[in-house]
Amino acid sequence: MRSRVISEPGSESASEHEAKRGRGSRGRGPGPGLDADWLRVAVGVAAWRWRRSWRSCARRGPAWPWPCSPAAATHKGYEGLVEGGENIKQANWLSVSNIIQLGGTIIGSARCKAFTTREGRLRAAYNLVQHGITNLCVIGGDGSLTGANIFRTEWGSLLEDLVKDGQITEDVAQKYCQLNIVGLVGSIDNDFCGTDMTIGTDSALHRIMEVIDAITTTAQSHQRTFVLEVMGRHCGYLALVSALASGADWLFIPESPPEDGWEDLMCERLGETRSRGSRLNIIIIAEGAIDRNGKSISSNYVKDLVVQRLGFDTRVTVLGHVQRGGTPSAFDRVLSSKMGMEAVMALVEATPDTPACVVSLSGNQSVRLPLMECVQVTKDVQKAMDEKRFEEAIQLRGRSFENNWNIYKLLAHQKPAQQKSPFTLAILNVGAPAAGMNAAVRSAVRIGICKGHTVYVVNDGFEGLANGQIHEVGWHDVAGWLGRGGSMLGTKRTLPKTCMEKIVETVRKFNIQSLLVIGGFEAYEGVLQLVEARGQYEELCIIMCVIPATISNNVPGTDFSLGSDTAVNAAMESCDRIKQSASGTKRRVFIVETMGGYCGYLSTVTGIAVGADAAYVYEEPFTIHDLKANVEHLTDKMKTDIQRGLVLRNEKCHEHYTTEFLYNLYSSEGKGIFDCRINVLGHLQQGGAPTPFDRNYSTKLGVKAVLWMSEKLQEVYRKGRVFANAADTACVIGLRKKAVAFSPVTELKKVTDFEHRLPQEQWWLNLRLMLKMLANYQISLTEYISGKMEHVTRRTLSIEKGF
C-alpha cells in the first residue's frame, strides 16, 4: 500500500463549518514550515523503507517488519485529491531535498467545496484507489481534519458505491478496504486544543516580534503610540504571546473581552505610562477582538480613542499575511520534522481498530491524540465564547494559555502589594551571557514587587555579590528589558568557593533571604557550592533557585535552557546562507563549528533545522571509520542534483579530530569530487535579540521561580527569621518532558558529569536518529520510541506545560 501526504491548511471540510466560520478578507492559508519538514520526513522514511532489503535487515536486525511503501504528495490539497490526475505525484528523496528552509507549502493548498459533498469524496476515493493509496497524512486545521475523519468513516461505503458503478472491482475494493488517517495541525493561530504548539505558530511569532522590535525604535524616537493588529479571528494566542514577549501596555483578545468602561481605564494607564517618562506605548489587538456585548473592537477605533482623549500621536499597523510568510523558525523546523516522523510511524502501526489520530506536542514529547476528541474540545471553546462564557473558554484553551494570560495581567501594570512582606530577594546572572536573561530578571523583579518583597539586583555574578555590587530595584527600572540580548546586570564565571567569606558577609549585610541565580552550568555549580557550605555558614541557609540560561543547554534538571533557542536560530540562519553559497558554487562541502562546550545539543538541533549531512558531538563517539563513511556518503551525494554538503562539528566533540583535521580529511578524500571550506560560527550564537520562545519561556520561569521561592520562604520563616537547610530549598527550575519542575541541586549532583559539564542523561540524543535518517543514511529504527495514544479531557487541559 502507498502513503500520501496532503497539505490542506485552512480548507474547511464540512459545509456547516464553512458556513459557521464565514470567509473574511484574510482567508486562512499556509504558514511557515508547513511542509518543508514533515514532507521530507514522510518521504524520507518511506524511501528508506523502500530501499532497505530484508537481507540487510537480517544482518542488522529487523528495523521495519512491515511492507515497503513509497510516498506520494497531492498538490492543491483536497481539490487535488478530488481532481486526481497530475495532482497526485509520487515523491522521491530528491523532490523534497533542499526545501526545509522554505516557508508555506511547496505542494500547494486550496479550498475545496467539492470535498464537502459525498460526490466529491467519491471521486477522491476513486483517485486514491487508482494510485493504490490507503494511508493519508493530512495537515490543516480542525475543519480539514474533521473532513479527513468523515472521509475515513465513509471509506467502506464509498468503495461499495464505486463497485456498484463499475469503476472498480470487488477484488480491488477488498484490497484497499482500510483507510488510515493521521493528522498534523498546521495553523499559525495555535487554536487547536490538545497540542502545545501547532506548526507555523513559532514562525508567525518571529514575524510579529521582528515588526514590534522595529516599531519600538521609531515609536521611542517620535514619542508615538502604536496599535498593532495581529491575526487571530477566533483565538488570541498570537496576540497574547506577542504582548507577553514585548511588554505591551494593553491587549485585546477574543477569549477575554475587556470589562465595560475599558476605554477610560486604558487611556488612564497609557497616560500614567507617559507621565513616568516613557516615550512609547504599544497596544496589541487580535483581529477577532470583541467587547462584552460581542461588538467588534477594531484597531482604528482604538487609535481614534487614544487620539481624541489623550492627544497622543498614534499609528495603526496591521500585520496581515506578513505573519504567514518568511523562513520557518528552528522550532518549527524541528517540531514539524518530529511530527512528520511520528505521523508515518502512526500510519505504519495502524490497524482497522485504530481511531484516526492527530500527532501533537506535549512538553517536548510527541503524542498521539484521538482526532475527534481534539476537534470537539476546539469547537467547545468557540461555543463557550459564543455563549459569553469567557472564563471557561480560556480554561478550555489549556492551562498554558490561561497562565500566559494571568502572567501578562500581573506584569503589564504595577499593582500595589496587599501588604509589605518581611522577605528580601537578590537576583544575579552567572556564566556566559544568554538571550532571555534580561526577560527573566524583569519578570522576577516585578513578581517579587507584587508579592511585597524587597528586591535587589547584583552586578557581575557571584564576584559582584562578594564585592557588594548590589542595589534595590523598582518596577520601572526593568522596563524595556524584554527584547534585549546579553545580560543587563553583567555576568561572570567566578564561582563562590573563591570568595565564600565575602559572599556570606554581603548576605548578612543586606539580610538576603532568597537568591535567584540565572545562568548556565556555573550558576548550578555555584548554588551547589553555597548549599554545601550551609553547615559552615548559617547565613547561607536561605532559599535558592537556579533558572538555567545558557546556549549550550547543558544544565541538569531541565530539557531547555534560556538562550538555547535563540542560539539555534542564529546558527541556523548562518547555515542557511552557507548552504546557499554552497549550492551556487556546486560541489562544495562546508565544515561548520558550533559552540556548546562538550554538549552537542546546539550541533544536533541546528543540524536537523538546516538538513545537515552530519553533526559530530561528544556524546556520540565516532572513529576514523565513521569519518570515512561520511566522506563516501558525500561523494555519492555529489552524483545527484544536490551537489553541496554541510557538516556540523561541536567545538569539543573530539580531542584529536578537530575542525582543521576534518577540513584536511574531507579535502584530501574528496579531491577532484568536491572542495571544502571552514566556518567557525563563534560568539554570534550568543548575541542578538531573544526569540519569542526565549522571551516567553524566560518570563514564565521568572514568575514561577519567585512564586515558588515565596512559598518556601513562608514555610521556613520562624520567629522573625528564615532558616532553610532542607534539600528542597535549593532547586533548579526547568521543563522536564511535559511539565515545569523544581529539582534539588543536591539530587542533581548525582546525575551530573562535572568533568565535562554535562547531565549524564540528555533527552535530545533521541533526535539523532532522525538527523541521520534525514541525511539519507541507512539506519535501524528499532530504537525509535513511538508516541503514546492519550486522550483530551478537561483534566489533561488543566495540566501546566512548559510552552
Residues acting as catalytic residues? 189
**Torsion 391-393-396-402 (CA) sign:** negative
Tell me if 38 sits within 8 A of 339, measured CB to CB: yes
DSSP label at residue 329: P
Closest to 561 (Cα-Cα) out of 427, 734, 685, 439 = 734
Three-state SS for 168-212 is CCHHHHHHCCCCEEEEEEECCCCCCCCCCCCECHHHHHHHHHHHH
d(CA 664, CA 648): 15
Residue 632 burial (CB count, 10 A): 12
Residue labelled with grid coordinates 482623549: 309
Tell me if 196 sits within 8 A of 361, measured CB to CB: yes
Tell me if 323 sits within 8 A of 208, measured CB to CB: yes
Classified as helix, coil or strand, 83 is helix
d(CA 33, CA 203): 8
d(CA 758, CA 766): 16
Residues paired with 519 in a beta bridge: 430, 548
d(CA 705, CA 696): 14
CA 575 to chain centre: 20
The kind and range of the H/E element at 80 are helix 77-83
Closest to 229 (Cα-Cα) out of 176, 296, 293, 329 = 296
The grid coordinates of residue 593 equal: 563549528
Residue 503 burial (CB count, 10 A): 27
Strand pairing report for 717-718 and 721-722: antiparallel
Helices (H), 95-169: 118-130, 142-164
